[in-house]
Amino acid sequence: MKHLIVLLGPTGVGKTALSLDVAEYYKSPIISADSRQLYKGLEIGTAAPTKEQLIRIPHCFVGTLNVKDYFSASEFEQETLKVISGLHKTHDVVVASGGSMLYLDALCNGIDEVPTIDDRLRKDIYTLYEKEGLEPIQAQLKILDPDFYNQVDLKNYKRVIHALEVCLMTGKSYSSFRTNTKKKRPFNIIKVGLKREREELYKRINLRVDEMMHQGLLEEAKAFYSHKHLNSLNTVGYKELFKYLDGEWTLEFAIEKIKQNTRIYSRKQMTWFKKDTEIHWIDLSNSTESQALQEIIDLVK
């Protein structure tokens, strides 16, 4: 039986350090399930593996795309399955790690295939969003797909925009492509969730943001300022610093907002993960990394 260990959890919990230990034990590369670490040049803001860590353990799907490239969860599912199939020819156990909920869901459960969106159409809709906000996009979606309109979080602009893209691209409702059928995998999936006490996690997040700033996050944001309209840059850390570079916020306020928004994101991640009863949880507030490693090894046996 071939296995896939999936290490997941909120941002800042300690996935990277433990995933390296697990991968080293099983002599496996690490498949990154992080939707932003895919992009080259965003290493600091996405907390991507360092050069030393990449030398220690090879990683898949880290720094492989240009910020202008589009990459969907569906494409991630297809590409990761190819990589896992290849690795399982020589490895009984393969390791994946990340915190991007949709990518993890696509990897473990599969995602409904939807048509590829034309670049011009995507650009037109995002231009409309930038000029007039989400309301006109919501209005179009309500007409073209009232069922999904009544289900989706209307404040989640990415989902609203993507649904409208599909409607306009295909002439069919986005709902018609959603079956929510869990796909079978030719390997055993062991999901391991990492968590910490909230106060400890928040402290780690705050310290990590300070360290990112020390490492040069502001300079990284400046380098991509001209691309700030891209979806790949619409993420915590960059969007707050773009506000500073726009002259709307002070640097001190922007940094505090990065910390706050990262903490909010960590709560969203935990809310999502807690719905999954297949996850085996390890509390890193009460376990050392070596104890956590042994617990994972025991799960595979």
Confidence (pLDDT) at 181: 79
What pLDDT is stored for residue 159 in this prediction?
83
Place of tokens 């070596």: 290
pLDDT in single tens digits along all 301 residues of the chain: 999 999 999 999 999 999 999 999 999 999 999 999 999 999 999 999 999 999 999 999 999 999 999 888 889 999 999 999 999 999 999 999 999 998 999 999 998 777 778 889 999 999 999 899 999 999 999 999 998 898 787 877 888 998 999 999 999 998 888 777 789 999 999 999 999 999 999 999 999 999 999 999 999 999 999 999 888 898 999 999 999 999 999 999 999 999 999 999 999 999 999 999 999 999 999 999 999 999 999 999 8
Between the alpha carbon of residue 8 and those of residues 32, 195, 246, the distances in Å are 10, 9, 35
pLDDT on residue 111 = 80
| Ordered structural domains, the chain, with CATH | 3-112+181-300 (3.40.50.300), 119-177 (1.10.20.140)
Q: Give the tens place of pLDDT for each residue, 269-298.
A: 999 999 999 999 999 999 999 999 999 999
Alpha carbons 75 and 128: distance in angstroms, whole number:
26
Is 0.75 surpassed by the pTM of this model? yes
- pLDDT tens digits, residue range 139-159? 999 999 998 898 787 877 888
Widest CA span in the chain: 57
Task: Give the per-residue pLDDT at 177.
Answer: 82
